[in-house]
A and B are shown apart, each in its own frame.
Chain A
Amino acid sequence: MSASGLPKTAAVLGPDGLQALIAALAARGMEVIGPVERDGAIVLDRIAGIADLPAGRTDRQEAGSYRLADRDDGALFGYAVGPQSWKRFLHRPVETLFRVRRIGQELAFEPPRETPPRTAFLGVRACELAAIAIQDRVLLGGAYVNTEYAARRAQTFLVAVNCGDPAATCFCTSHDTGPRAHSGYDVALTELLVDGRHEFLAEPGSDSGAALLAYLPTRPATAADWAAAAAVAARAAANMHRRMPSEGLKETLQAHPEHPRWEDVGQRCLACANCTMVCPTCFCTTIEDHSELDGLGAERVRRWDSCFAGDFSYVHGGAVRTQTRSRYRQWMTHKLAHWWDQYGTSGCVGCGRCIAWCPVGIDIAAEAAAFVESSKREEDAHGIA
């Protein structure tokens, strides 16, 4: 029994139950955001009901390529993660921090923040829950709290969906962040398509999640439902073939800042910054000040920045990282190595976005593997243990 006295037992709902779930969230004053098909991809946007979900659609993802395709089982969540992550709703791409007006000799500061609307995210994958937990740690966990993120995060209700059909770019099993959600959600759904039935196993993860489920048309979950859900997760894990090396990766990356592999990848990389923009854990921003023509008004804006941009490492006199190889090294060593020292976790959750959405298909998992492999060869050759 939970603190509220509600039983935290799983329930099973049909498509009408899912429709009722969306309606119930809306009735509680929440804006519901979920997956929708647009411009040849599955993106995240406002949804009014299950009719907005990409029914019977799936994705085929490879390094540098993403295509939608049909599937014949009518699944509502039969695809992996798309180009956008939930980062764009919590840690927004562009955010006005304050506006200021000069009135006579006085400066009047106007914080633009009202309380953000209550928002429900529907269809959050396990890797994305892990990414949100990482951003919570980075943006809320230290001495300097990102107040805009904090305000939005406090208003967020998370409906997870366990993955049944990972993309070829996925590798959450390497980081133990999926394909099944273990924590950090209010409700977790597993889509069950067995024997011609279309249902969802719904597990509450919080008191408010349990309260919501109690309100919906459901039936109790049986042992067969649990077995079907376990089979979905097992199939997803078995279909995931990409791997990020873990053994010795941090130490190897940190020990070889001048490894020739950096130049090699630097030759292939465009320094376009797409990887950092799509990564659900990348959090870097810059601050821009704008003023109005009349000299009476100004505003301060925060926007996503990237370690691939030259201006990112600009200090008086010039940029520190002028070469693409040093920018790629910064991104990869921070994400996969220094992040451990800084936050006690890897900065990668294995979502595969940076692989699919790199216009030239640079693959962070393959780069890491090649790096470990060639450093090992080098050490063997030099007799280093």
Chain B
Amino acid sequence: MITLSDVHKTFRARRPLFGAKKPDVHALNGVDLHVQPGEIYGVVGPSGAGKSTLLRSINLLERPDRGSVIVNDQDLTTLSATKLRHARHDIGMIFQHFNLLARSTAIENVALPLQLQGLSKTQRRQRAAALLERVGLADKLDAYPAQLSGGQKQRVAIARALAVQPKVLLSDEATSALDSETADEVLALIRQLRDDFGLTVLLITHDPYVVRSICDSAALLQDGRIAQAAALTELTPDSPLARRLKIATLASETTGSTRHRFVDVPEVSYA
């Protein structure tokens, strides 16, 4: 569903008015990544490893200097501006700080992508209301973001990201600003939506717990390269990725019947 091949991205430092020029930052140094359809894939790595840059190059918010980004059998780096905009309709994205329009209500936020696609007002309201209901916010349609909790805001953002029925959902630390209970609920929602819509989810996080909770596969990003990638069921406990995910430690903490103990997220039902 998503295939990155040899993706490079360098941020060139600008010459400052005073003092020495800072060095360029090689954020991505030849990233290869393959995400299967319907999978929840997590990329972990230390801060500054290039995780956000990696995620942003998938919908070309950040255009790679080199390499190809194939989403849905289409190399996005070769597309014209108009074609790229269309391709982006198939790629939803959610963010750590939600990025909701502060002056629009929940339903207006969710209706925005529908409006961009030229749907009529009644169609937009209907679809947006249904989506908000789907994420458990049927009673918050006309609430402004300031009147919502962090978890509720992220649900609105998820509904907005899914409004035009994308095939792929990208998540940049979507639960990092939430308390752990709310984070669990949002993660459960993401998994539920993946199951229901056959979404492919690529999330990046600094938090090993998120990956252990909902990911099928994971990769460790280090110094702008994928150091290791594996399905979680096939992960060897003493590998770098397993250490990063703290899977070995967890296993030794548990009674030992299961080698990989994944923390289960409680199922949350949404009427």
A and B co-occur in one complex: no
Interface residues, chain A, CB within 8 Å of chain B? none
